[in-house]
Amino acid sequence: MNGKERIFAAFCHENVDAVPWVPLAGVHAGKLKGYDARQVLSDGDKLLASLLEVNRVYDPDGQPVLFDLQMEAEILGCELMWAEKAPPSVVTYPLLACMEIPKKLPEKNAGRLPFILHTMHVMNERVGHRTALYGLITGPFTLASHLRGTEIFMDMFDHEDYLIELLTYCTEVGRRMSELYIAAGMHVIAVVDPLVSQISPKHFQQFLTPLFCDLFTFIRQAGAFSSFFVCGDATKNIEAMCNTEPDGIAIDENIDLANAKKITDKHNITIEGNIPLTSHMLLGSQQDNMKFVLDLIETVSPNGGVPVNLIISPGCDMPYDIPVENVIGTMQAIREPGTARAMLANYHAQEFDLASIQLPDYENLPKPLIEVFTLDSSTCPACGYMKLAAERAVKECGDKVEMVEYKITTPENIARMKKLGVQNLPSILINGQIRFSSLIPSNRELLEAIREYN
């Protein structure tokens, strides 16, 4: 089987000769050619060269053409802040101060779409016969948050009708983007909605279930496979996500894949994930990544053999500076598991030194301390909105509270997270106590929690 055939077979719940492999190389693709994030996300020639290099070096079965969840937001009027080694982030929210419903839908000539659609066409011509190409669109809840800001979490309680209208509009944007990407040759449309992990099953069913059902039906009828991509600890919403009937569900490291697969298998849905981005891919060794992948496959296929309904990928968009050898080692372990097991027979992973981490004296702090643990607020939308929620509350409290962000992009911060018992990202701690874990609080909820420490 070639890669495209493996991906198609996985989505059709058929046996495969090896577990399909999808490296989510967004801005990391530029690293392979020496281009920074802005170059690879704004120049069609550089994007194409980077994608072809990913295809050559990492030999993917499936491959995204673009991983930028701010693309639609930019077209709809959001201003972006660009970074050298990460996708841009939204810095203005057009609907923050006004409860309107936009009418504009993306057209082929809008924003960066002309060169993106052209790149998709060329990629399909060059490698589409052997590689399944993924078109990633921004899910309706995350897109609505780009337009509305953190007010969206208050809208779930205070302005339900307006929120439903806004989410319906954002779903229409998703339909239009899917239509354009499928016409450009994309085989899989991944609806990436990180903020789904930050709401309750009740709110998911109330606001999102019918919209996602309609969107996945549209993608299926248009002739493509669909994937529901969520970041953060969405364990509580896996069942609800399955009920929207996508062909696949993609998860990150916050979720136990083996347990989630029991749910997705019940619905005959393929699951994709979930190599840890920082502790393994960015900061770990090649052997760490190989062992993780082998152990992951073994947890869902303890009796050996190639499991069905499984695709291996990083938990989300790969950080720019991931060592190339770590990705290659991952691919080799998937393709040649027996050889990789023999190589790792005597390997033991290095443990983080928790004793070296000094924590604040939480019992004697002069004012409440908010600690926001994120994967990286500049690259992870859910993390970014968790940090924004904290910043908004701190601004209202003035100098009566302090805040610090710990990005899990260094060994020290990973050790700090472990020492404090933080299991999921993003999380907010107040005076060392976990108060909000993978659930973005409303401004009212966070202010009430802060007052408990005054």
DSSP 31-44: HTTT--HHHHHH-H
The rounded distance, in Å, linking the Cα atoms of 175 and 162 is 20
What amino acid occupies position 316?
C
The phi and psi torsions of 284 (rounded to 5 degrees) equal -85, 180
Q: Which helix (H) or strand (E) holds 271?
A: strand 270-275
Reported as a pLDDT band with limits 50, 70 and 90, residue 378 is: confident
Give residue 423's pLDDT: 86
* pLDDT per position as a tens digit, 284-342: 999 999 999 999 999 998 777 899 999 999 999 999 999 999 999 999 999 999 999 99
The pLDDT score that the predictor gives to residue 61 is 98
Architecture of the domain defined by 354-451:
3-Layer(aba) Sandwich (3.40)
* In the chain, domain spans: 3-343, 354-451
Structure tokens at 172: 């229409």
- What are the structure tokens assigned to 199, written together? 């709401």
| For residue 426, cis peptide bond before it (omega within 30 degrees of 0) | yes
Instruction: Report yes or no: 163 and 207 within 8 Å, Cβ to Cβ.
Output: yes
pTM of the model: 0.89
User: Which pLDDT belongs to residue 347?
Assistant: 82
pLDDT per residue as tens digits for the range 190-226: 999 999 998 999 999 999 999 999 999 999 999 999 9
pLDDT at 351 over 80: no
Question: Tokens 């040759």 appear where?
Answer: 185
Report, as an integer, the average pLDDT of 89-94.
95
pLDDT confidence of residue 234: 93
Residue 48 or residue 381, greater confidence: 48
Class of domain 3-343: alpha beta
Highest-confidence range of 24-28, 196-200, 277-281, by mean pLDDT?
24-28
